[in-house]
With several copies, the nearest count.
Chain A
Amino acid sequence: MIDFELSAKDREVLDKLREEALVARRYARFYDENEHEFPPDELPEAAQYPSIFEMMAGRTGEDSGMGVMSMLITMAQTWGDYSVRMHRGKGGLGNAALQAAGTPEQKTKWAGLTLAMAITEPGCGSDPSRVQTTAVLDGDEWVVNGEKIFVTTGCRAEGVVVWATVDKSAGRGGIKSFLIEKGTPGFIVAHKEKKLGIRADDTAAYVFKDCRIPRSNLLGGKEDVPKGNSGGFKDVMKTFNMTRPAVSAIGLGMAEASLDFTREQLAQSGVAIEYGSGLHGQSAVAEKFLRLETLYEAAKLTILRAAWLADGGKPNNLESSVCKAKTGAAVREITQGCIEILGPMGVSRDHLLEKWFRDVRITDIYEGTGEIQRMITARALLGYSRAELN
């Protein structure tokens, strides 16, 4: 049955997480202003807060699905801060790829590692089929050569899942992903980017120079290059089906924080917000705030929809793009709008609103820009192939 109410259990978990997030938030400004520092794996207050696994114990069929719940958890955490966590869970985007495409052996072997994901190259943005990094089989080793940029948590990760082509002539079909551990000769962390936001979250540039890895480091193990331009690439794309909603949730958690901060400030100044009235019963500020709050709610529901489908084992490629396109734009409008409402206070670094404005901006860019998401949405809607709409 259609329902949007959380179970008592889930509500409790999420409330606890917000308490925790509020503590983590105390450290947010420090790591924003000190870009070279890494947030610790555990905050000083960590002892007082159970791990997420403890909290999640004892959930039943009466509670929301894991996909939905993990979106809500992500929102609760980024509501506190983009980067700082009470307990920093192991695992980056690369681990998701490992889970999605790895063989059982690979999953167990690399379970303990925090893995980044290296896709983008200086020459290619949202178009993975233009990957220039090569992997050539030499005896029982792959030899990897190429450059990667915008590798999220690329500095602190212990390993990385790299997209490389084993056969340029095969286009997308030739693209495979390989797992490379830090310290492997020929794997150089070239530099760390300075960014508009998410400054505590390192973004690295990699160079691979004749970097040799075991043959068994090919993710999924399938070495054959399928005919036509899908195959291996499709496997790789699987990774994105839950990461698009997840990235959307990351941005929306911060947008919610912005709305909460703005609501609080307005309330303290005696600006009333009336849900019953129309245009003629509102002040300009209240009306503007209502619009932003509604936009938040709309985006949130598209995320939950995509996650709910995944929980039911239903395909959610379209819905994942729908929620990311919607949320990527919404979080920009919401943070921009909250600043407009609060005026000079909104741009002061004495408050976190200006940071949320900077931090959310990336979520309409990475894991596929809003334009790419609209492309995917339109292809599904129109029944077009990549060749018919690009």
Chain B
Amino acid sequence: MISFKLTEEQEVVREAMHDFAKSAVRPIARECDEASKLPDAFLVQAAELGLVSTQLPDAFGGGGEPRSPITNAIVAEELAWGDATLAIAMLAPAAFAFAVADQGTEEQKRELLPRFCADVPAAAAIAFVEPGPTFDALLPRCVAEPKGQGFVLSGVKSFVPLGDRASHFLIVARNNGGLDAFIVPREAEGLSVSQPEKNLGLRALSTATLTLERVALPGAARLGGAAGCDVRKLLAHSRAGLASVMVGLSRAVLDYAVPYAKDRVAFDQAIAQKQSIAFRLADMHIETEASRWLTWKAASELEKGGDATRSAHQARSYAAEKSMWISDQGVQVLGGHGFIREHPVEMWYRNARTLGVLEGTVAL
């Protein structure tokens, strides 16, 4: 039955996350961007929210609540409303942990999941993106050759979040014809992790480039073991996650532009009273809504465990295009003030353009 109704718990979570975004995220977003740095204190504070552990099995120290992509979509939107960069920093480990919980072998779960339920949870990330001008999520250059009982991994991954602190990476690679994901510890021989990349946006995410020179891995490093894993499912969870972040960013822009436009006077009227501005704000609202509903639809399909490849693709591509457009219009509504760093809009404009080229990094 068609319903847009949040459960009571979801209403509570949304409010809590919004408060956190407002009080703990938004206030430090600019300084993190200018410094291109994630404050450790913030990550500790964020850990207390239990974003990762709550939905992990209690057998491994988790909260034992069932994984809920819908709830996670709501969480991601609220946190990203505060700041997309910090939201991804908070959610990246969950992407890794959920992948293991969902598709890992018992052994993989036993070894890895407890780390995310510790007081100071582990940092980890999924590595989907690759450098180079023709990156496509389903056509990675990174390759795994079977060797004996194990694999040898070669290739380059970029835009891996938390590169400065992640203990494990989940690396997507070709594996004779198909796709697979491999759990690679930071200290693996042949893996080199670059200094934080310098990028247009999401500057505080301290993303890294991973270079894999014939990294030898045991067979147990393959997510799902002998059975392997469903990379398209990882991708769908990730795309819906990115879409949620984009919706949060779009809403932030709109919430900032509306009062500005009502306040700002030109030609003896608030610019918001001019149709060209008013109608644009209307379209910004319309597209934020539409993006959210597409994201919720993907999340709800994921929650039911069906194949959400299509709805997740739709949510991400639509939200990417619209969040780009909305942040661009946000700059335009603010005019010169949209171009200077005294206001957050120019940062959102950079973050939107950067988000739009990502895969992986987060998941619902």
On chain A, the residues within 8 Å of B6 by CB distance are: 2
A101 to B229: give the CA distance in the assembly, Å.
59
On chain B, the residues within 8 Å of A343 by CB distance are: 129, 133-135, 357
A371 to B282: give the CA distance in the assembly, Å.
10
Is B357's CB under 8 angstroms from A344's CB?
yes
Q: Is B180 close to A, CB under 8 A?
A: no
In the complex, which range does the number of interface residues on chain A fall in?
35 or more
In the complex, which range does the number of interface residues on chain B fall in?
35 or more
A377 to B341: give the CA distance in the assembly, Å.
30
The segment out of B41-49, B161-169, B289-297 that lies at the interface is: B289-297
Q: Is B256 close to A, CB under 8 A?
A: no
Shortest distance in angstroms between A124's beta carbon and chain B's nearest beta carbon? 7
Shortest distance in angstroms between B348's beta carbon and chain A's nearest beta carbon? 11
Listed residue (B129, B346, B359) with the most chain A CB atoms within 10 angstroms of its CB: B346
Q: Is B210 close to A, CB under 8 A?
A: no
Known: A277-B137, A278-B136, A308-B4. Is A302-B289 also a contact (CB below 8 A)? yes
On chain A, the residues within 8 Å of B309 by CB distance are: 275-276
The segment out of A87-95, A250-258, A358-366 that lies at the interface is: A358-366
Is B346's CB under 8 angstroms from A302's CB?
no
A-B contact pairs, 22 of them (CB 8 A): A2-B10, A3-B1, A7-B1, A65-B1, A120-B336, A129-B267, A196-B331, A266-B133, A266-B134, A275-B313, A280-B136, A281-B138, A294-B317, A301-B293, A325-B282, A340-B356, A341-B133, A343-B134, A347-B354, A354-B199, A382-B258, A382-B262
Shortest distance in angstroms between A193's beta carbon and chain B's nearest beta carbon? 5
The segment out of B17-25, B76-84, B182-190, B272-280 that lies at the interface is: B272-280
A280-303 at interface with B (beta carbon < 8 Å): 280-281, 285, 290-291, 293-295, 297-299, 301-302
Q: Is A233 close to B, CB under 8 A?
A: no
Q: Is B281 close to A, CB under 8 A?
A: yes
Closest to B346 in A: A196
Is A382's CB under 8 angstroms from B133's CB?
no
A308 to B235: give the CA distance in the assembly, Å.
30
Binary interface profile of B, 276-317, with partner A (CB < 8 Å = 1, else 0)? 111101110110011101101101110010000111011001
Q: Is B2 close to A, CB under 8 A?
A: yes
Is A378's CB under 8 angstroms from B279's CB?
yes
Known: A196-B341, A358-B200, A358-B350. Is A265-B289 also a contact (CB below 8 A)? no
Binding site for B on A (CB under 8 A): 1-7, 10, 62-65, 68, 120, 123-127, 129-130, 149-150, 193-197, 203, 262, 265-266, 268-269, 271, 274-281, 285, 290-291, 293-295, 297-299, 301-302, 304-305, 308-309, 312, 322, 325-326, 332, 336, 339-350, 354, 357-358, 361-362, 364-366, 369-371, 374-375, 377-378, 381-382, 384, 388-390
On chain B, the residues within 8 Å of A279 by CB distance are: 136
On chain B, the residues within 8 Å of A390 by CB distance are: 267
Known: A348-B197, A358-B200. Is A308-B331 also a contact (CB below 8 A)? no
Known: A124-B266, A340-B357. Is A6-B1 also a contact (CB below 8 A)? yes
Binary interface profile of B, 342-360, with partner A (CB < 8 Å = 1, else 0)? 1000100110011011110
Q: Is B16 close to A, CB under 8 A?
A: no
Is B350's CB under 8 angstroms from A196's CB?
yes
Q: Which of A275, A347, A381, A384 contacts B310 (CB 8 A)?
A: A275
Shortest distance in angstroms between A390's beta carbon and chain B's nearest beta carbon? 5
Is A5's CB under 8 angstroms from B133's CB?
no
Is B332's CB under 8 angstroms from A364's CB?
yes
Is B258's CB under 8 angstroms from A371's CB?
no
